[in-house]
């Protein structure tokens, strides 16, 4: 079994501690439907029933295939330790990935994407089917239910005033649209968010402002030359909509920042983003950013990078749980940091699930922190 009782350590930077909670580095198992494999990725966190819940995908690599599964864990000590509680296998003929939690009617739900085992650029010909699993205890999960039309990949589900919202991108990464639901199960397609196919729009994160206005950050992979974030433009489209969310305007781009796998969250009145950062030579990091500017008026935004989280290779796809208003538990995944291999190699290599405890209230001033304390203790396997 997995032993995840790894206590956080504290170093010279008291605003953050971090550690590995699931490791792929000592793994020899190749049956990824039934146990942890070498490549662990696609995380999310949720606070539910007085616990913090963690989910991630495991497989032999990032390549699509049915030899994969989702693993669910529970923490009852505010994210200090996580115990495995459930496993959800991929369909026998499809991959499973990109799990995200949401809560409906007191039950915990997981949204996930299932795809055909096709190797393609821009999610082409993968026949995406978005499904949801639900549980009354987080341990026993019902069979999956299809919640979206074929070809649409839901991103993170958000709830506001009894309605559920998700941005979804179409296979081929050609357009992004808003979907809504009253019960988390039956979804209706609504407004176009962004549909310039030449920009390759895909993963789109939604966050609601106090006024009700919604902000959408649209990842854009760009042209063939820009697709892997090695050269060319790095951009994220900024889109806004007001109730009843029947129209989006996209007046701005964050130039120099392509936020892959974006996670956006409020801590107090501050708006943070965790996403993949692109470096020279095809190397990647997971970074913590803050959005500043006219948050509630739909105006121009500025972005500030606070720090790189411990990461390299294939990395990012984070989750967050706020243990206190300004104290966040953050999850993400990363390849081996010492090797610092390019992303294109990391997708085939071993990777780990990381957890950090971050005191966001200590992130003040104009200068970003340069380093963070790191406690790297690989989970052991019995």
Q: Determine the Cα–Cα distance for residues 51 and 12; give it in Å rounded to an integer.
A: 29
DSSP string of 322-369? EEETTEEEEEEEEE-TTT---HHHHTTS-EEEEEEEEEGGG--SSSPP
Closest to 56 measured CA to CA, from 93, 104, 122, 4: 4
53 contacts 101 by C-beta, under 8 angstroms:
yes
Hey, is 17 helix, strand or coil?
strand
Estimate to the nearest angstrom the gap between the alpha carbon of 60 and the chain centroid.
19
Hey, is 47 helix, strand or coil?
strand
Mean pLDDT of 28-49: 98
Residue 374 pLDDT:
43
Residue 48 pLDDT:
98
Mean pLDDT of 313-317: 98
Its domain, for residue 180, covers: 2-381
208 burial (CB, 10 Å; 0-12 / 13-18 / 19+) is middle
Give 366's pLDDT tier (boundaries 50, 70, 90).
low
pLDDT above 90 covers a percentage of the chain that reads 89
The CA distances from residue 380 to 3, 29, 55, 247, in Å, are 6, 14, 18, 50
Tokens of 323: 């243990």
Hey, is 197 helix, strand or coil?
helix
Instruction: Please state the domain count of the chain.
Output: 1
CATH of the domain at 73: 2.120.10.10
The length of the chain, given as a count of residues: 382
Q: Determine the Cα–Cα distance for residues 325 and 321; give it in Å rounded to an integer.
A: 10
Residue 8 pLDDT:
44
323 vs 85, more confident: 85
Q: What pairs with residue 284 in β-bridges? A: 278
Q: Determine the Cα–Cα distance for residues 93 and 279; give it in Å rounded to an integer.
A: 36
Q: What is the pLDDT of residues 80-111, one digit of tens each?
A: 999 999 999 999 999 999 999 999 999 999 99
Residue 13 pLDDT:
66
Q: What is the pTM of this model?
A: 0.94
pLDDT score of 28 more than 50: yes
């Amino acid at each position: 079994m997995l032993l995840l009782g790894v206590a956080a350590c504290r170093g010279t930077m008291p605003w953050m501690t971090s550690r590995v909670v699931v490791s792929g580095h000592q793994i020899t198992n190749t049956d990824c439907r039934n146990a942890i494999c070498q490549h662990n990725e696609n995380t999310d966190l949720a606070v539910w029933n007085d616990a913090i819940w963690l989910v991630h995908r495991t497989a032999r690599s990032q390549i699509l295939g049915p030899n994969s599964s989702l693993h669910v864990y529970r923490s009852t000590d505010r994210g200090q330790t996580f115990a495995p509680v459930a496993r959800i296998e991929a369909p026998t003929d499809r991959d499973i990935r990109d799990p995200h939690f949401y809560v409906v009617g007191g039950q915990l739900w997981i949204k996930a994407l299932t795809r055909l085992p096709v190797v393609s650029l821009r999610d082409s010909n993968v026949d995406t089917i978005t499904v949801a699993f639900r549980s009354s205890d987080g341990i026993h999960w019902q069979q999956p239910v299809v919640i979206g039309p074929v070809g649409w990949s839901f991103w993170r589900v958000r709830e506001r005033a009894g309605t559920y919202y998700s941005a979804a991108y179409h296979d081929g990464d050609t357009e992004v649209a808003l979907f809504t639901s009253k019960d988390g199960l039956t979804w209706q397609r609504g407004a176009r968010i962004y549909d310039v196919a030449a920009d390759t729009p895909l993963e789109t994160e939604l966050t609601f402002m106090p006024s009700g206005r919604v902000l959408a950050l649209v990842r854009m992979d760009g042209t063939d030359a820009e697709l892997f974030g090695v050269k060319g433009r790095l951009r994220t489209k900024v889109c806004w909509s007001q109730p009843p969310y029947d129209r989006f305007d996209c007046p701005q781009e964050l130039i120099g920042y392509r936020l892959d796998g974006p996670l956006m969250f409020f801590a107090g009145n501050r708006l943070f983003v965790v996403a993949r950062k692109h470096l020279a030579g095809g190397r990647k990091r997971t970074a913590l950013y803050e959005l500043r500017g006219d948050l509630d008026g739909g105006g121009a935004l500025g972005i500030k990078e606070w720090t790189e989280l411990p990461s390299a290779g294939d990395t990012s796809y984070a989750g967050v749980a706020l243990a206190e208003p300004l104290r966040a538990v953050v999850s993400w995944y990363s390849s081996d940091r010492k090797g610092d291999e390019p992303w294109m190699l990391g997708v085939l290599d071993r990777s780990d699930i990381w957890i950090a405890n971050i005191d966001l209230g200590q992130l003040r001033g104009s200068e970003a922190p340069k380093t963070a304390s790191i406690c790297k203790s690989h989970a052991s396997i019995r």
